[in-house]
Amino acid sequence: MGEFDLIARYFTRPVRKAALGVGDDCALIAPAPGMQLAVSSDMLVEGRHFFADVDPEALGHKALAVNLSDLAACGAKPLAFTLALSLPRVDEAWLAGFSRGLLALADAHGCELVGGDTTQGPLNICITVFGEVPTGQALLRCGARPGDDIYVSGTLGDARLALESLLGHIALPAEVLARARQRLERPTPRVALGLALRGVASSAMDVSDGLLGDLSHILKASGVGARIDTSLTTDLIAEKTYSTSASGVFDAKLLHQCTLAGGDDYELAFTAPPARRDAVAAASQASGTPVTRIGTVLAEPGLQLVDAQGQVVENRYASFDHFG
Amino acid sequence: MGEFDLIARYFTRPVRKAALGVGDDCALIAPAPGMQLAVSSDMLVEGRHFFADVDPEALGHKALAVNLSDLAACGAKPLAFTLALSLPRVDEAWLAGFSRGLLALADAHGCELVGGDTTQGPLNICITVFGEVPTGQALLRCGARPGDDIYVSGTLGDARLALESLLGHIALPAEVLARARQRLERPTPRVALGLALRGVASSAMDVSDGLLGDLSHILKASGVGARIDTSLTTDLIAEKTYSTSASGVFDAKLLHQCTLAGGDDYELAFTAPPARRDAVAAASQASGTPVTRIGTVLAEPGLQLVDAQGQVVENRYASFDHFG
C-alpha cells in the first residue's frame, strides 16, 4: 500500500465543520466570529511515551487525548486536528487499530481530522489540535493570585503506578495493574471541565509531567508560590487502598512520587478565588468531573508541601523532563 | 540542558501577531475578520527527507520552507507555526544552527513560532503552519477546467540532480553540485506568487513529489486530463547547459526523470484560463517569480506527454511515494 492509499483508507473522512479537509495542500478552518483559535502540538515517540507493544487502539486514543487535554487546560472547545505519522512499515492491522482509537475519541469530542502527513521512519506521532475559545476567555497559566485555592481534577498517580509495574520496578496484582494501566494508556481529557471553568478559574494547566512540576509552571508564570497539603494529594490515587493493604508492594514514598510527580495524569490543575468555591463546585457537577481542593496560592515564591497537621515536609519529587 | 531550558534558549521569542505564543498549554491565534485559516503539517525524517550530516541551518530553513510551500499553493499568507522536535540528544551547536535557519525564514515571511513540543528520540521535525486566506479565495486542486493553460513556476529538477549525485548515482562537477544542492537543501517557497495568483489561477498545488505525480492530483481532483510538452519542461532545469555539454554525465532520460518526477522542487504548478494569460504574467511580474506555460488541460482523463513536434512520448516517470 502506498502513502496515498494509506491516507485514503485510514485517515480520510468527510469534514462537517472545517471548510476543507484531508486531500489538498492545506486544510481550511475558521473559528466562529468572536472566537480565538487555541493551538497545541504534541509529539509521541516509541520508548519515550509508549511501549513498542502497546495496543494500537489505545495509542490512537492517547495520541489525541494528550492534545485534547491541552485544549481543556485552556478552556477551548475541540474543533479539528492534523496528524503527522512516521511509520517503520505499513502494518494494516496496526493502522486499523490506531485509526479506530484515534477517530473514536475524535468523534466523541466533535474534533475533525483535517489533514496531516505520513512518511516512513521510526514510529512517531505528531498531532496538532485546534479549539475555539471566546476572545479573551482562555484559561492561562499566569492568572493565579495569592489566596486563591488550588484544585486538581479526578485522580492522580495511577498512570505512574502502572508504568512502575510495567517497567518491573514494582509488582502489582493483575487486576490492579489492569485498572491502573487504563489510566496510563487511555487517559480522559478533561474537556468538559475546562469549558465549565471559563470565567471561574484564575489559572489552569493540564498535569502531564507530574503535579508539582506542572504546578510550578503556573506559579512561575503568575509570580506566586503555593502550599500543597500532601495528605490530600495522596488520597487522589485510585489504587490507594491497595497501596496501604497488608499485601501492599509500594510504600508511602512511592505513593507520594506517583501522586506528586507521577506524570501522564492528564488531569487539570487550576486555581480560583475562595469566593468562587460554589462556582467551582457547579463546574465540577456540570462536567461530571470530581475536583479536589489541595492547597493555597501564596505571595512568596516557592512550593511548600505540608502534611495533615500543617507541618512542612521535604519536597524530593522531581518532575518528568524529556531530556532528563 | 533540560527540555524547558532548550525551548527557552532556542525557540522562544516574543509574538507580535499571535495573541499568545510559546509557554502555555496552547497558543492563541485568530485570523482577521473574513479570513479562513489555512493549515498544513509536514514531518521530516532523517534518511528519508534529509541526510544525517546535512547542515542544520539548511535543515531549519527547509523544514519551514516545505510548509510555507503548502501555504503558497493555497494562496495563503503565512501567519504562525508550531514546531515539534524529536532529538537524539541535546547538541547545542546543532540547535543553534537549526533555529537560526528556521527563524530566519520565519522572519522573512512574518511567520511566528507560537508553540510546539520537544522530546528525546530519533531525529524528527514536524511543523504545522497557519496562514490566512480570504474566505472562499483559497487556491484548490479541484478547479482545473478543459482548455486551461498549465503552468509551473521557477525551475524543475535541480534538487533531484543534486540528490542523484549525493547518492553516488551520477558524478557532477563540484560547482554544479553546489548550485543544485542549494535547490535541494534550501528551497524557496513561492509564497508571493501564490498570493498574486488568487483570483487568477483555477487550481494550484506545490510540486514536492515530482511534477507529473503532483499534477495528477490536480487532474484527479478536477476530473480532467492534461497534455504536457516535455520539450518545455526539460528546459526548466537550471543545470541543463551542463547536462547537454560534451562532458555531460547525465542523459536525456535522467533529464526527463529530474524535471518530470524529480521531487523536492517546491515550485507551484497551476492552471488558468487562456483569457487570463495577461493576469498570470502580471502575477509573475508582481511576485518576481518566473512562470512557464507547459501544457493544456484536456476533458479526457489521463496525462499525455508530447515532444516539441506534438508527438506522444511514453510516460515512464514515477512520482515519489514515501512508502514506495
* Shortest CA gap B210–chain A (Å): 15
Give a yes or no: residue B66 inside a domain: yes
Q: Which of A163-167, A213-217, B20-24, B152-156 has the lowest mean pLDDT?
A: B20-24
Q: Which of A9-13, A246-250, B185-189 has the highest mean pLDDT?
A: B185-189
Comparing CB atoms, the residue among A30, A48, A122 nearest residue B37 is: A30
Q: CA A217, A218, A223 angle in degrees (round to 5)? A: 100
Domain count, chain A: 2
Give yes or no for residue A8 having a pLDDT over 70.
yes
Query: Hey, of B26, B28, B45, B95, which one would you mutate to test binding to chain A, going by the most A CBs within 10 A of its CB?
Result: B26
Is there a contact between A181 and A166 (Cβ–Cβ < 8 Å)? yes
- Better-predicted residue by pLDDT, B193 or A15: B193
Give a yes or no: residue B143 inside a domain: no
pLDDT for position A323: 54
pLDDT for position B254: 84
Interchain CB contact of A25 with B (< 8 Å): yes
Give a yes or no: residue B140 inside a domain: no
Domain boundary among A64, A99, A134: A134
Output the average pLDDT for chain B. Answer: 89
B84/A42 CB distance under 8 A: yes
Give a yes or no: residue B142 inside a domain: no
Give a yes or no: residue B182 inside a domain: yes
Q: Which domain holds residue A120?
A: 3-134
Nearest CA in chain A to B213: A4
Give yes or no for residue B309 having a pLDDT over 70.
yes
B-chain CB neighbours of A85 within 8 Å are 43
pLDDT for position B323: 54
Residues B193 and B248 in one domain: yes
Residues B41 and B122 in one domain: yes
- Distances from the Cα of A123 to the Cα of A209, B41, B121, angstroms: 22, 17, 10
A-chain CB neighbours of B33 within 8 Å are 33
Q: How far apart are CA A137 and CA A271, in angstroms?
A: 15
Q: What is the CATH number of the domain that holds A288?
A: 3.90.650.10
Main-chain dihedrals φ then ψ at residue A126, nearest 5 degrees: -125, 115
Give yes or no for residue A251 having a pLDDT over 60.
yes
pLDDT for position A254: 84
Closest among A45, A217, A68, A163 to B119, alpha carbons compared: A45
Domain boundary among A134, A166, A199: A134
pLDDT for position B245: 45
pLDDT for position B250: 57
Element (H, E) at B5: helix B3-11
Rg from Cα positions in chain B: 20
- Better-predicted residue by pLDDT, B247 or A212: A212
Give yes or no for residue B319 having a pLDDT over 90.
no
Element (H, E) at A73: helix A56-74
A323/B41 CB distance under 8 A: no
pLDDT digits (tens, 9 = 90+) for A11-38: 777 666 666 767 677 888 888 888 999 9
Binding site for ATP: what residues of B are annotated?
116-117, 141, 208
> How many of the other CB atoms lie within 10 Å of CB of A252?
12
Banded pLDDT at B17 (limits 50, 70, 90): low
Banded pLDDT at B6 (limits 50, 70, 90): confident
Give yes or no for residue A181 having a pLDDT over 60.
yes
Supply the DSSP symbol for A240.
Answer: H
Residues A155 and A289 in one domain: yes
pLDDT for position B18: 67
Query: Hey, of B1, B11, B17, B24, which one would you mutate to test binding to chain A, going by the most A CBs within 10 A of its CB?
Result: B24
% pLDDT > 90, chain B: 67
* Shortest CA gap B275–chain A (Å): 26
- Better-predicted residue by pLDDT, A272 or B315: A272
Residues B124 and B154 in one domain: no
**ipTM, 2 decimals?**
0.86
Residues B13 and B116 in one domain: yes
Output the average pLDDT for chain A. Answer: 89
Q: Which grid cell is B192? A: 508571493
A-chain CB neighbours of B92 within 8 Å are none
Residues B209 and B93 in one domain: no
Domain boundary among B134, B165, B197: B134
pLDDT digits (tens, 9 = 90+) for B63-97: 999 999 999 999 999 999 999 999 998 899 999 99
Query: Hey, of B9, B15, B39, which one would you mutate to test binding to chain A, going by the most A CBs within 10 A of its CB?
Result: B39
Give yes or no for residue A103 having a pLDDT over 80.
yes
Q: Which grid cell is B252? A: 536525456
Q: How far apart are CA B127 and CA A62, in angstroms?
A: 20
* Shortest CA gap B204–chain A (Å): 9
Residues B172 and B123 in one domain: no
Banded pLDDT at B47 (limits 50, 70, 90): confident
pLDDT for position A51: 82
- Over residues A74-82, the mean pLDDT reads 95
Residues A286 and A153 in one domain: yes
Residues B170 and B269 in one domain: yes
Residues A226 and A155 in one domain: yes
B-chain CB neighbours of A90 within 8 Å are 323
Give a yes or no: residue A139 inside a domain: no
Give a yes or no: residue B9 inside a domain: yes
Residues B114 and B236 in one domain: no
Give yes or no for residue A131 having a pLDDT over 80.
yes
Give yes or no for residue B322 having a pLDDT over 70.
no
A141/B30 CB distance under 8 A: no
Banded pLDDT at A245 (limits 50, 70, 90): very low
Comparing CB atoms, the residue among A49, A124, A128 nearest residue B41 is: A128
Give yes or no for residue B251 having a pLDDT over 90.
no
Q: What is the CATH number of the domain that holds B33?
A: 3.30.1330.10
A-chain CB neighbours of B19 within 8 Å are 36, 135
A-chain CB neighbours of B115 within 8 Å are 39-41
Q: Which of residues 75-114 of B touch A (CB under 8 A)?
A: 76, 80, 82-87, 90, 114
pLDDT for position B28: 86
Residues B92 and B205 in one domain: no
Comparing CB atoms, the residue among B28, B120, B138 nearest residue A322 is: B120
pLDDT digits (tens, 9 = 90+) for B96-141: 999 999 999 999 999 999 988 899 999 999 999 999 999 989 999 9
pLDDT for position A256: 87
Residue whose cell numbers read 474537556? A191
Q: Which of A250-259, B92-101, B274-283, B293-302 has the lowest mean pLDDT?
A: A250-259
pLDDT for position B255: 86
Give yes or no for residue B313 having a pLDDT over 50.
yes
Element (H, E) at B206: strand B203-207
pLDDT for position B324: 46
> How many of the other CB atoms lie within 10 Å of CB of B148?
25
pLDDT for position A316: 75
B323/A6 CB distance under 8 A: yes
* Shortest CA gap B54–chain A (Å): 17
Give a yes or no: residue B318 inside a domain: no
Banded pLDDT at B244 (limits 50, 70, 90): very low
Banded pLDDT at B246 (limits 50, 70, 90): very low
pLDDT for position A75: 96
- Over residues B225-236, the mean pLDDT reads 93
- Better-predicted residue by pLDDT, A274 or A7: A274
Q: Which of residues 185-244 of B touch A (CB under 8 A)?
A: 204-206, 221
Tell me the sheet residues that pair with A37.
A132, B29
Q: How far apart are CA A204 and CA A291, in angstroms?
A: 13
Give yes or no for residue B247 having a pLDDT over 60.
no
Is there a contact between A267 and A205 (Cβ–Cβ < 8 Å)? no
pLDDT for position A18: 67
